[in-house]
Amino acid sequence: MEGLSPARRGLLAKPATASPSLSSLGAVFILLKSALGAGLLNFPWAFHKAGGVTPAFLVELVSLAFLISGLVILGYAASVSGQTTYQGVVGRLCGPAIGKLCEACFIVNLLMISVAFLRVIGDQLDKLCDFLLPGAPLALPPWYVDQRFTLTLLSVLVILPLSAPREIGFQKFTSFLGTLAACYLALVIVAQYYLGAQALVQEPRPALSPSSWASVFSVFPTICFGFQCHEAAVSIYCSMRNQSLSHWALVSVLSLLACCLIYSLTGVYGFLTFGTEVSADILMSYPGDDGVIIVARVLFAVSIVTVYPIVLFLGRSVMQDFWRRSCCQACGPRALADPSGLGVRMLLTVLWVTVTLAMALFLPDLSEIIGIIGGISSFFIFIFPGLCLICAVSTEPIGPWARCCLEVWGVVSVLVGTFIFGQSTVAAVLELL
């Protein structure tokens, strides 16, 4: 496969992988779980920020078209390029300069996502400890309920072992559990609206219309942060037994439609319950002593724990590529250990967990920069897939009309991603100032 030119590979070619064994159902769950992360907690607040259910739904539906097309484009680009990683696909099709930009964005985005995940887990652990030890806030809490201890212990005993496997296909088992946990949270929010809305709802009532178009557009970064599974798309696609493009498109549609249903239920009913008083973290709006909410906190922490290894796997792949290039360029191909071997893999895994844990424990609250994370993720959802589509179709033997339509869609995708990145970055900087 490596000896073929991109034009000879075509749509039916398969990226070179070592015995791909991931089933279609496993791919759906990993892709779904990659998207069902901490963004689930922000969707009710995003519905309030957009000005109500209707404008938020319109933004979500428009985004969904680009989200699904981005996944399909990435599968197509992986087939044409013969690469097995996101950054490898971008580097092969768009050139080394864009490839290095992709790697830099990849590391920064995934690192900050990992930190945000650990902060969410830590917050849920704190709430759980407050529930188990109700008198602790009035006195000096025991050392074993301190977040620095509980989060470190969880990272060492649970997160690190889950992050050690070499292939992403292993995550299909934990992804199923994490998906059920996220579904439970959505069902709890729906049930709380019907069973306890009168006791929970606060004034003023939900806004019926957006205050401005700027407020509607401002929720795009939150949606990008919530639906970002594109970083894992190439690795998932290349691990599948059936790598036909039509089959990958079906997997992408099913995954994102299921994800959209869960996000929409959470966003609509969380917003209708609390209105304009909804918290940026929907779980913080509910009473801390409610047993059902406590279970939701625990299960959502489990959900985040299961998606963290997927993020780490993707970040580690970038570091492994850098290790491999440095080895070959500086010392020859046999001078350093195989970056996919157990020793190097465990070293990079421990390094990633240690750095993100330290940042999660000692950095200030990260809620202000969620928009920046969402803005950076627009590169992986819109900009890089658009560029890959433009470059890939120029090498494919297709008709001029089809090539023109695909290139136009690629340009539109790049422009939309650039707009979202610029808008979210400017808004986040203004809030920080």
Query: What is the residue type of 386?
Result: G
List 240's β-bridge partners, or say none: 22
Report the candidate in 128, 113, 118 with the shortest Cα–Cα distance to residue 152: 118
Residue 3 covered by a domain: no
> Which domain covers residue 311, as residue numbers?
19-93+101-367
Confidence at residue 17, expressed as pLDDT on a 0 to 100 scale: 45
Report the candidate in 26, 53, 5 with the shortest Cα–Cα distance to residue 232: 26
> Which tokens go with 175?
């992804």
Residue 240 covered by a domain: yes
For residue 52, the 8-state DSSP code is S
Matching residue, tokens 């990260």: 366
Residue 361 covered by a domain: yes
Residue 415 covered by a domain: no
∠ CA 276-282-285, rounded to 5°: 70
Confidence at residue 31, expressed as pLDDT on a 0 to 100 scale: 86
Residue 243 covered by a domain: yes
> Which tokens go with 170?
């292993």
For residue 383, the 8-state DSSP code is I
Residue 374 covered by a domain: no
CATH of the domain at 284: 1.10.4160.10
Q: Rounding to the nearest 10 degrees, give the CA dihedral for residues 62, 101, 311, 43.
A: -30
The counts of H helices and E strands in the chain are 18, 0
For residue 166, the 8-state DSSP code is S
Report the candidate in 27, 40, 46, 32 with the shortest Cα–Cα distance to residue 301: 40
Confidence at residue 14, expressed as pLDDT on a 0 to 100 scale: 43
Omega before 204 within 30 of 0, i.e. cis: yes
Quote the percentage of the chain above a pLDDT of 90.
14
Distances (CA, A) of 430 to 133, 369, 372: 40, 11, 12
pLDDT digits (tens, 9 = 90+) for 319-371: 887 777 766 555 555 545 555 667 788 888 899 999 999 988 886 555 555 66
Rg over alpha carbons for the chain, rounded to the nearest Å, is 22
Stretches in the chain below the pLDDT threshold 70 = 1-19, 134-141, 167-175, 196-216, 326-341, 363-372, 374, 427-433
For 240, list phi and psi in degrees, rounded to 5: -80, 145
Confidence at residue 339, expressed as pLDDT on a 0 to 100 scale: 58
Distances (CA, A) of 281 to 40, 64, 93, 417, 423: 9, 23, 39, 26, 22
> Which tokens go with 151?
């989060």
Q: What is the pTM of this model?
A: 0.79
Residue 348 covered by a domain: yes
Confidence at residue 213, expressed as pLDDT on a 0 to 100 scale: 63
Confidence at residue 292, expressed as pLDDT on a 0 to 100 scale: 84
Residue 397 covered by a domain: no
Number of domains the chain is built from: 1
